[in-house]
Amino acid sequence: FGGGTPSYYGARRIVEILQELKVTNRLMKQSEITVECNPDSVRRKELRMLRKEGVNRLSIGAQSANDDILRLIGRRHNWRQVEMAVKRARKAGFRNVSLDLIYGLPSQTREDWADTLTKALALKPAHISCYGLRLEEGTPMYDEYEGTDILPSDDDQADMYLYAVDFLSRHGFRQYEISN
């Protein structure tokens, strides 16, 4: 359940879908079932409900460990909420917790990116996805930031990507996906 933030859809509706899939035998016991969520929408009760119905992987859209950058891009959470979301997920029985991070954000420096990776690693996720910011025409971020000098240069973004690959591989993570 991804491609946006299905946790805003509500755990009950996700559970209904999972139950229907089980009834129609379209869901295998060994399936990896992931729900993406924002840190500010992670609730204990809903996590337990999802876990009970077979969701076994939680992907948390952390984006950055820098609260100023999070505010700048209109996120409703801060880094402390990311930490709490991971803690709640583990308490609910999720062993497979993933963090989504973004590099190339407005005002983001290489040092900010290194700090984000270090703080993310400290949470001991099973997986970390790193995405380069891509401004899509017609979105508020495109309208606000396209053509401005607040975004890191292409060279800086390339350095952030290479830093992430090196840093994460030195800490036991193996790259198996390329997004953009």
pLDDT of the chain, 180 residues: tens digit per residue: 445 554 555 656 656 655 565 545 555 566 788 889 999 988 999 999 889 888 899 999 999 999 999 999 999 999 999 999 999 999 999 999 999 999 999 999 999 999 999 999 999 999 999 999 999 999 988 999 988 999 999 999 999 999 999 999 999 998 776 665
Name the residue range of residue 154's domain: 6-170
Task: Examine residue 179 and state whether it is found in any structural domain, yes or no.
Answer: no
The CATH number of the domain holding residue 11 is 3.20.20.70
Task: Examine residue 178 and state whether it is found in any structural domain, yes or no.
Answer: no
Task: Examine residue 1 and state whether it is found in any structural domain, yes or no.
Answer: no
* Whether the Cβ atoms of residue 53 and residue 20 lie closer than 8 Å to each other: no
Give the other-Cβ count within 10 Å of 17's Cβ: 14
Task: Examine residue 176 and state whether it is found in any structural domain, yes or no.
Answer: no
- Give the chain's radius of gyration (CA, Å): 17
Task: Examine residue 50 and state whether it is found in any structural domain, yes or no.
Answer: yes
Rounded Cα–Cα distance for residues 144 and 157 (Å)? 19
pTM for the complete prediction? 0.84
Task: Examine residue 117 and state whether it is found in any structural domain, yes or no.
Answer: yes
Q: Domain total for the chain? A: 1
Residue 115, Ramachandran bin (φ over 0: left; ψ between -120 and 50: alpha; else beta):
alpha
